[in-house]
Structure 1
Amino acid sequence: MASLKQSAYFPIQLKRKQPQPIPMKKISVLVVDDHPFFRSGLIQWLNQQELVSSCAEAGSVAEARMAVEEAEPDVILMDLRLGDGEGLELTRELAPEHPEIRIVALSQFDEDLYAHRALQAGARGYLMKSEATESVLAAIRTVMKGGIHLSHVMAAKLLQNIFPDPISNSVDLAKLSDRELQVFQLLGAGRSTVEIAGHLKLSPKTVETYRENLKKKLALPDGAALLRAATLWSEGGNT
């Protein structure tokens, strides 16, 4: 019998099967946006994605409520400004009623003011409309895995909040309530007290109270200064 030293040695290499990634189930999406051109373009793109099984749409708060019940979506892409109401308030309403649905705020509004408000309302992510469409798909994947999605732009702004610019003299809107911010935004858009009251379904007297609160919180001397600050903020692309 040949010894081990005399025997030829042929190492046996076993091929290990590479683990196959677990495919994510197809996702049903509801797009809530009151701009038909933007909405249809996004839906057309989503319907071409392998991850998406179906894509419903709604152009208003009322339509969104019905679509949630009819389409039973996994993910809602929610515009924060709708013609008949606010997407932020709708998010706050739907999140506890439908905890199984992941809501991603999709908006043109400045993230450093609205992202944390959207998350507090129950959204699982925030995307600027200026983001590439691929970011929408990344957001859907993230929230369906239980994560929270914020854009790269927002991450940079969070760092700016941690290390603020000491020479910045812009008004600090982070201290405002959601309703106060809505009034400030509408003032910047040139809306009168009566128009704001109609849009927000409030009395003109209540809107005047919000205007007084805005002056105090923002340390502005009078109504003219408030209007000027709101207009400048609006012209900066925050409407």
Structure 2
Amino acid sequence: MPISVLIVDDHPLFRQGLASILDGEPDIVLAGEAGTGREALACCRSLQPDVVVMDIQMPELDGIEATTLIRRDFPDIRVVVLTTYEGDVHALRAMKAGASGYMLKGQARKDLPDAIRAVYGGERRMAPSVAMAMACHVHDDALTPREIQVLELAATGKTNRLIGTQLGISEATVAAHMKSVLSKMDANDRTHAVVLALERGIIDLRRRGA
């Protein structure tokens, strides 16, 4: 029997592109498509695919949350997260949610069919650049939840005084948190720290609705 695959992405044209990639593979068959995380759950229930190819950024229920629920309710279904994000934190979140693969959209035409076969066979598959990023940061000190809050608000352009007002802490405390962030991330200044945090997936302004 061919490997049945469910494609989950909120962009119809991208789903169509993925379907065309899989169409030429004799051992892979497209079971269905979904545009949101909630639709993905419903399709897993009705179609019982072998592998789900999952985007991270989607309305209603994002790909990480959907992966967690799919792996909880359908433990035999494998998930390959397909995304534009090379950040190590995004990848770590996906793997903790139960994904077996983490691939980049730009490499889908070349790598996706083999990734599907690999995870179906019980292997794990990760884009080399993402694996390298994870290896580079494996010994980093993690930011605390408060430090992430401060960094997210700094990313929206707020001053230390405004951040302190919003979080209910003093301006000096905000400055202390930011100093810790710069040290942990080896950043030159707050702007550099924000850029690094966005690249790595430590903060996600779209998820905050900013």
The two structures have a TM-score, normalised by structure 1, of 0.62
Give the alignment of 1:67-78 within 5 angstroms. 67-78=43-54
4+ runs deviating over 6 angstroms: 180-187, 225-228
- 1:94 deviates by 1.2
Match of 2:180 among 219, 227, 234: 219
- Structure 1: distance between partners of 2:7 and 2:144: 27
Higher Cα Rg, which structure? 1
The CA deviation string for residues 126-185 of structure 1, in whole angstroms up to 9 with x for no partner, is 1111224231111111111111111122233344346x8xxxxxxx7x72589x979967
Q: In structure 1, list runs of 5 or more residues that go unmatched.
A: 1-24, 165-171, 193-206
CA distance 1:124–1:86, shift in 2 (3 Å): same
Distance in 2, matches of 1:63 and 1:183, equals 34
- Count of aligned pairs: 183
- Cα distance in 1 between the residues matched to 2:106 and 2:8: 17
Query: Matches of 2:149 and 2:89 in 1, distance apart?
Result: 11
Question: Hey, what's the Cα distance between the residues in 2 that align with 1:47 and 1:183?
Answer: 47
* Structure 2: gaps (5+ residues): 159-165, 183-188, 205-210
**TM-score where L is the length of structure 2:** 0.70
- Aligned residue identity for 2:180: A
Match of 1:103 among 52, 55, 79: 79
Find the counterpart in structure 2 of residue 92 from structure 1: 68
Q: Does 1:38 align with 2:14?
A: yes
The one of 133, 142, 150 equivalent to 1:175 is 142
Q: How does 1:1-239 map to 2 (within 5 A)?
A: 25-161=1-137, 175-176=142-143, 188=155, 208=167, 216=177, 219=180, 229-230=193-194, 233-234=197-198
- 1:191 CA displacement: 10
| Cα RMSD (Å) | 3.6
Checking the alignment, whether the CA contact within 8 Å between 1:30 and 1:77 is kept in structure 2 is yes
Aligned-partner SS, 1:146: coil
Higher helix content, 1 or 2? 2
